[in-house]
Amino acid sequence: MLKKLSLSLLSAAFCLSAAPAQSPDKELIPYRAGSKWGYADQDGKIIISPRYNAAKPFSEGLALVMSGGKYGYIDVSGRFAIKASYQSAGAFSEGLAPAKSKGRWGYIDKDGASAIPFEYEEALTVNDGMAAAKKDKRWGIIPLGTKQFIPTKYDEIYPFSEGLARVKSGGFYGYIDKQGAEALPPVYEAAFPFDGGFAAAQFRRTFGFINRETKIFKAREFFNIGPVSEGLAHAEKLAGDPGRCGYIDVNGAGRLPFNYFMCGSFSEGLAPVLKTLSGKWGFIDKTGKELIPFKYDEVASFKGGIARVVLKGKVFYIDRRGKEYFKK
């Protein structure tokens, strides 16, 4: 979540019904009613009655819900496709989902069958045909083609993007390829995933961009630079009004004015921004137009047409129109 005193975007949280199934291109939206969660359609009509303690957005036709203290998956008709039997779990991606059972993580398929054994201490969501997991206190990678664990020497591994995964070693970041070979050594104080051939990074206290092809670091005159997303990155100026941020392209050219106190990355054409330290979060488009009112205490980026927000201690979802899927 984006909080008032944080620049980071963290990925967010976590019924039986006789309602008719929804088409895949009109997946349901998590709907909060009091302390329970269900699902509504885009018009706000309740399709799966609120009865869960937690509910995540649909991913590849299934949604992760909590029932009776355990996690399972329902389809768009509200039927349990995979019974609630896991201690923890993640969203489906590329046909697999990480899940925790009896204290160990593994990966399941959409039938609920074990696709990668439950023998890991941690497991990340699949991305770019690869999974990353921790076994015997060592992080490694798992190509989906072989499903064989390849241990590495790194302290941490992050999801793959454009064929490379960020790794951390001795407090510094670098990148490895899908064979586990070091593509860029861990020499960066900060680094983000590649997007459109570029990644933002910090090298010797200077912020700039790495090119995916040449792998050359190009310094830019900014105090701080966030991840590249949809061709833009949020940045803070070296001089002038401290704490003011705006958006630049990978050449360092300003694309949106530095008029905000905090900024998040663009996703699906929208970015969350905070105007003042004591203000609220809202969303702008790539022209700088304010599309969703500045009223939220915390926000996350849009994914699948919805974003998780917090208002007066209540967590719920909004769509790109600003419609709120919440009832007191």
The model's pLDDT over 165-213, given as tens digits with 9 standing for 90+, comes to 999 999 999 999 999 999 999 999 999 999 999 999 999 999 999 998 8
Cα separation values, 182 from 164, 171, 174, 198, 290, Å: 9, 16, 8, 17, 42
> DSSP label at 270?
B
Residues 6+ apart with CB under 8 A from 23: none
Percent of the residues in the chain that have a pLDDT greater than 90, as a whole number: 86
Quick one: how many helices (H) and strands (E) in the chain? 0, 35
End-to-end alpha carbon distance in the chain: 22
> What's the rounded mean pLDDT across residues 142-150?
97
Phi and psi at 105, nearest 5°, equal -100, 150
Q: Residue 247: which of 216, 271, 267 has the closest Cα?
A: 271
- DSSP bridge pairs for 156: 168
Is the model's pLDDT at 241 over the cut of 80? no
Rounded distance between C-alpha atoms, residue 225 and residue 218, angstroms? 12
> What's the rounded mean pLDDT across residues 122-147?
97
Q: Which residue has the tokens 């620049």?
A: 7
pTM of the model: 0.88
Residue 136, class by beta-carbon neighbours within 10 Å (0-12 exposed, 13-18 middle, 19+ buried)? Answer: exposed
> DSSP label at 25?
G
Q: What type of residue sits at position 113?
A: A
- List the single range of 5-19, 70-84, 145-159, 289-303 with lowest mean pLDDT: 5-19
Rounded distance between C-alpha atoms, residue 85 and residue 121, angstroms? 18
Residue 155, class by beta-carbon neighbours within 10 Å (0-12 exposed, 13-18 middle, 19+ buried)? Answer: middle
Strand (E) or helix (H) holding 248:
strand 245-248
Cα separation values, 64 from 132, 140, 180, Å: 20, 26, 31
> What's the rounded mean pLDDT across residues 266-273?
98
Residues 6+ apart with CB under 8 A from 286: 230, 232, 255, 256, 266, 269
- What confidence category does residue 239 fall into, taking pLDDT thresholds of 50, 70 and 90? low
Q: What mean pLDDT is reported for the chain?
A: 91
Rounded distance between C-alpha atoms, residue 14 and residue 54, angstroms? 5
